[in-house]
Chains A and B, each alone.
Chain A
Amino acid sequence: MPRKPVAGMLPVTRRHALGALGASAASVAFPFVISARAQAAEIPIGMVLPFSGATGAYGPDMKKAAELVVGRINDAGGILGGRKLRLYIEDSETNPTTGVAATKKLLEVNKVEAVGGFWGSPIALAARPIILAANKVQMVSASADAITDGDTKGLIWRFQAKSTQWGPAGAKIMQSLGMKKVVLLAQQNPFVLAMIEPFKAEMAKLGGVVADTVVYNPDQPSYRAEVEKAFGGDPDGVFCLSLLTDFSSIAKEVYKGGFKSKIVALSIGADAEGKFLANVGAEVAEGIHHLQPAPPLDAPSYKKFVKAMGAPEGAVFLFAGNAHDQVCTIALAMEKAKTQEAALWTKAIPEVCNPPGEQVDDVVAALEMVRAGKKIDFIGAGATCDFDAKGDQLNRSFLHQVIEKGKNRIIGTVS
């Protein structure tokens, strides 16, 4: 029987379907045609950063910092005898599956030698096997211990404190504020959970008591039950291991409930580049202490970086400095090893970053010194950029701040 189109519907022929397929194929293929020509002598490097999703707040500054370094290096004549760096940045959407596709794109289409960025442990962990299989370097700004566990072929470098280092820092701060009986309120999250045991151990060492540990699930409409449980026993202080969205709700609940216990929180929740104050207002935020792995705020290297970013003096960039340091480290190690081959220059990273050597914090000057054959000890904007044998960063200090009248006041650094 003949097939007749139903009235009111466009008939879809095989030709239509093929046309649609062809058009979508062309839309994918078109950009490749151009990209293949553009990258002749350039050295491609990549970053996977969050621009949307729960951690989308951190991408823009990290991108800006990375582009800043690439611009400076290229303006000063590039590396490896005048070759320019070309930086490709992809959005992770705070989602590991997207992070994997983005990493693949960087490795296969842009042929990058290193993939940096990686805010967030799940994304870093999902991308790790792909980068290792491609024999390229992965640089992360994420904390989960698992990232550098196992066989990394010496290709993975962490530009961040490990989760296990955050806990003791929190315990020292609570101790310094005179809190004896404390409660832990923690989000169910790999990065946060790794802090709990080291925190308890340090607290016990300092003579404090952890009365209770309340673990909650993220993305809840309300955190009332958890807040009641944690604050209800009237502890001296509550250590809130929370991220921005949940901590905003928790702080409001605590304020509404009239609880008197002091809060010590993570700056990624209680500051988040000013977003926390914007969410809850000065009154709710009053008196909340928070900590973060700090860039060396008093170091000249960091001050220069803040100026270069065009930010007011004293601005605290939590992760942008790490992005800056990643690009610097890539450039220096390539120059030192005289190759863009990732498997080779990754071995040169400790040589340019760790002591002994002449300390230098400016990447262009550092490149000059490497070319002159000097042994350097690069000092980054996010940290001193020294690594242990597993690729974890050493000497990360933590910044302790308190919110007063809608502003952050720096109390000191803890290490």
Chain B
Amino acid sequence: MTAYLVTILILASISAIVALGLNIQWGVAGLVNFGVVGFYSVGAYATAIVALGGGGAWGGLLAGVLASAVLSALIALLTVRLTDDYLAIVALGLAEVVRLVLLNEAWLTGGPLGISGIPRPFAGLVTEANYPVLLLGMILLALAATLLFAEALVRSPFGRALRAVRDDDTVAAALGKDALSLRIKAFAAGGAIIGLAGALHAFYITYIDPSQFTSIVTAYAFMAVIAGGRGSNIGLIIGAGSIMALLEATRFLKDFIPFLDGTKLAALRLAMIGAGIVLLLIFRPQGAMAEPRLSARASRPEAELKPDRLSERKVLPHAS
């Protein structure tokens, strides 16, 4: 039982880290990354390849984070003139390119067979059966570090500048902000975090193949950010946790409800999550927690008498 909870916590924490990475890109900087899974798989594969190629587990981890960050920066640079839907399409295309490379470059990635026996950090310290607990500890540390980093980033002048670029890049540029460099940095920072999650995925499963990296990874990351509140780091950890809890808890329904078989349950789970997201967007479009912002009204009391401009803002301006 405990070990199963450990599994759920590991998977939930990894998806929360992915969501934190996406939140920097999409939530804070407004860069729609529909290719999350591409960066995630690059992180996992770079980790596996370097770890097995003599870099060891730690070398692999570093390689995973770097590979994903560099790839992210490159994509952000290439798509300098693209925002909104167009960036989303490029990111989607990149994920597809990555998938095809993983599938076909068998000399490097093992092709469809994938890579097995990925070494794990600190593997010698505990028995194999107890290792997941140790790994969970490391993953929780990574999650906490990522969260602190993301929070610091959101509240820093850099984060404010990013939000300014997100909301209106012309205005931000007119005020002297270098929109291009801000975007590249945000995309690379988010990519590094997603790559870290990919590396942790490789350490947990120890076997990776292309069929593990399907677009559902991207979908779950977006769901977590939408459910948790775009721009709010704490909120999206709740979001990622709830989605994983919902996905895994429904597993148990069929053990107790006799007429519910696997086929029905599979359809029902997805339907429930879809319905949940729709209801959430209708009744609570800002997610579990709203983005923390400094309110201009606090220093201009008379503004409260006027209609609230903030709440009229489209909550998901880039998600259409």
Contact = CB atoms under 8 A, between A and B. Distances in A.
Interface stretch (B27-35, B47-55, B106-114, B167-175): B106-114
A24 B112 contact: no
Interface stretch (B70-78, B142-150, B154-162, B241-249): B241-249
Contact of B311 (A6, A25, A94, A193): A6
Contacts of B311: 6-9
A193 B216 contact: no
Interface in B71-128: 100, 103-104, 111-114, 116, 128
A101 B11 contact: yes
Nearest to B298: A1
Contacts of B295: 4, 6
Contact of A56 (B216, B234, B263, B308): B263
A108 B7 contact: yes
B196 interface: no
Contacts, number: 159
Contact of A96 (B8, B211, B241): B211
A101 B2 CA distance: 13
A51 B245 contact: no
Contacts of B248: 28, 101, 105
A28 B2 CA distance: 13
9 contacts: A12-B290, A31-B255, A63-B262, A102-B251, A122-B112, A125-B114, A126-B212, A188-B112, A193-B113
A89 interface: yes
B42 interface: no
B266 A91 contact: yes
Interface in A86-130: 88-91, 93-97, 100-102, 104-105, 107-110, 122, 125-126, 128-129
B138 interface: no
Interface string A381-401: 000000000000000000000
B3 interface: yes
Interface stretch (B56-64, B180-188, B202-210): B202-210
A24 B252 CA distance: 14
Given A8-B308, A10-B284, A125 B207 contact: yes
Contact of B209 (A9, A24, A96, A129): A96
B9 to A, nearest CB: 10
Contacts of B103: 188, 217
A324 B286 CA distance: 51
A51 B263 contact: yes
A32 interface: yes
B214 A95 contact: yes
A6 B313 CA distance: 12
B308 A125 contact: no
Contacts of B5: 28
A227 interface: no
B111 A35 contact: no
Contacts of A311: none
A95 B216 contact: yes
Given A34-B256, A133-B129, A217-B103, A12 B288 contact: yes
A49 interface: yes
Contacts of A20: 238, 242, 288
B134 interface: no
Given A104-B3, A133-B129, A146-B116, A21 B252 contact: no
Interface in A183-209: 188-190, 193
B282 interface: no
Given A63-B262, A88-B255, A126-B207, A97 B212 contact: yes
A218 to B, nearest CB: 8
B4 interface: yes
Contacts of B270: 52
Given A6-B310, A109-B1, A31 B7 contact: no
Contacts of B249: 24, 27-28, 31
Given A59-B263, A91-B265, A17 B288 contact: yes
Nearest to A21: B238
A308 interface: no
A144 interface: yes
A177 interface: no
Interface string B189-228: 0000000000001000111010110101000000000000
Contacts of A24: 241-242, 245-246, 249
Q: Which of A25, A100, A134 is the most central at the interface, judged by chain B CB atoms within 10 Å of its CB?
A: A100
A216 to B, nearest CB: 10
Given A51-B266, A89-B262, A100-B7, 6 more contacts: A21-B238, A32-B252, A88-B255, A91-B262, A96-B205, A101-B11
A105 B251 contact: yes
Nearest to A104: B7
Given A51-B266, A93-B266, A189-B112, A101 B252 contact: no
Give the top 7 A-B pairs by smallest Cβ distance, nearest first.
Answer: A31-B252, A108-B4, A52-B266, A51-B262, A8-B311, A104-B7, A24-B245
B262 A28 contact: no
Contact of B111 (A7, A59, A125, A190): A190
Contact of B308 (A7, A90, A102): A7
Contacts of B234: 17
A101 B8 contact: yes
A412 interface: no
A125 B118 CA distance: 13
Nearest to B210: A122
A134 B127 CA distance: 11
Nearest to A36: B1
A133 B207 CA distance: 14
B288 A133 contact: no
Q: Which of B114, B201, B252 is the most central at the interface, judged by chain A CB atoms within 10 Å of its CB?
A: B252
A257 interface: no
Nearest to A90: B251
A97 B4 contact: no
A60 interface: yes
A63 B242 contact: no
